[in-house]
Amino acid sequence: MASGKKFKCALFEILQFSALCIPVFIIIHRFASIVKQVKKAQGQNDGDANTAYWLVVASSIAYVTFVALIIWVPMKYMIAKKRKFFTERKKWRPILLVYMILSTLPCFAFLIASTEVQVNSNLELHLYDTLTDLPVSLVMFSLICVDVIDRLRKCRLTGQMQEAERDAGIHSPVLTHLEQVPTVSGQIDENENENHGATRLKANGSVPGITAPENWENRYSSRTASSSYYTTQYTPSGRLKFLSTNDARAEMFVDCFVFWFDTIELVRVAGLPQVFRSGWVFPIYIFSYISLLRLIVKPKNPIRSSLGVFVQDIPFLFLRIGLITVFGYVTPLIYLFKNILVFLAFVYFNFVTKLKLFNTERMF
């Protein structure tokens, strides 16, 4: 059993370290290739172009080595030794914070530098490096992998999921609750019983209109029993029975990918030639990186929904309106509708419904 835990821990550490290093190597290698191509296009000899290429590659190797030995490995050691700073974290995740500073931020910086080198060199359009989707997808996929590994660390990879493992930030499936609705005849009988009880209390010398304390308890218990909740859920039988199987660990992968689709789409727009040749590439990458910072907060933290609106939906809404106005439909309208509806729903259900005008008991 202990060997299995050690193997899982070693596997997770290797995967996280790979997610830290691989995007930096590939994106900086792409930047070095662009620099080499630009120098050749400007008429420099192959020796100078190759020297610039290998200097950039060597710098990436030195950076990853420095980060791994000075920051990443000591941090993992302190986490393994359960230091107070790391063991008492309850609202945020330091591993994701360090990863975003050491890996995601340099990757975004070199993506911007790659576009600026091509634009400032006055290359012809057909000489531009158009393979922009691979670097963006690689950075976001590595970020998702680190998030998944951090959530799965407290869960078993074999057997069924236990209740104690749900504190790892995995949302458990919610059963459908059905409330029993009283019928009209039942309400009439209840009113008749209440009127009969009030008449009897008045005859016994009690104060009219006030129910005795012992009757309050009985009345409360009867109402609670009449509005009981059923936690049973319909499950298909027969050949379709396998469709009812679900596990929160599998659903977590879907949640992690869906969580970043909006940011992935906006960063992809920055790779289009008409966009990165303009100044719009800077606000796109800046606000995209700011939206990634909400990953530092744990999934069950109550401020995470508010962060999603203020650091993603509101800035992305104005960015997409500006992009569509200047460049046309470079981004799908469904993401614009998503930003608008999420912002309006957040304001309405959290602020407008608390006003006295909307604080009613009507059905709508």
pLDDT tens digits for 93-108? 888 889 999 999 999 9
Please, what is the angle between helix 314-327 and helix 281-292, to 10°?
A: 160
- The tokens for 133 are 């989707």
Separation between Cα atoms, residue 243 and residue 305, nearest integer Å: 31
CA atoms within 13 Å, Cβ hemisphere of 285:
23
Separation between Cα atoms, residue 288 and residue 293, nearest integer Å: 9
Predicted confidence pLDDT, tens digits, the chain (364 residues): 567 778 888 888 999 999 999 999 999 998 988 888 888 877 777 788 888 889 999 999 999 999 999 999 888 888 877 766 665 566 778 888 899 999 999 999 998 888 888 878 776 655 566 566 788 888 999 999 998 888 888 777 776 666 545 554 455 444 444 445 555 455 555 555 555 554 554 445 444 444 444 444 454 444 444 444 434 455 566 677 767 777 777 788 888 888 888 998 898 888 888 888 888 989 999 999 999 988 888 877 888 888 889 999 999 999 999 999 998 888 889 999 999 999 999 998 888 888 877 666 655 5
Amino acid at 233: Q
HEC per residue, 267-280: HHHCCCHHHHCCCC
Q: What is the pLDDT of residue 137?
A: 87
Q: What is the pLDDT of residue 219?
A: 47
Report the largest interatomic distance among the alpha carbons of the chain, rounded to a whole angstrom: 112
Pick the closest to residue 223 from 192, 196, 186 (CA basis): 186
Q: What is the pLDDT of residue 35?
A: 87
Separation between Cα atoms, residue 111 and residue 105, nearest integer Å: 10
Q: What is the pLDDT of residue 196?
A: 53
Q: What is the pLDDT of residue 178?
A: 44
- CA-to-CA dists, residue 103 to 24, 270, 289, 364, angstroms: 6, 19, 12, 48
Q: What is the DSSP letter of 303?
A: T
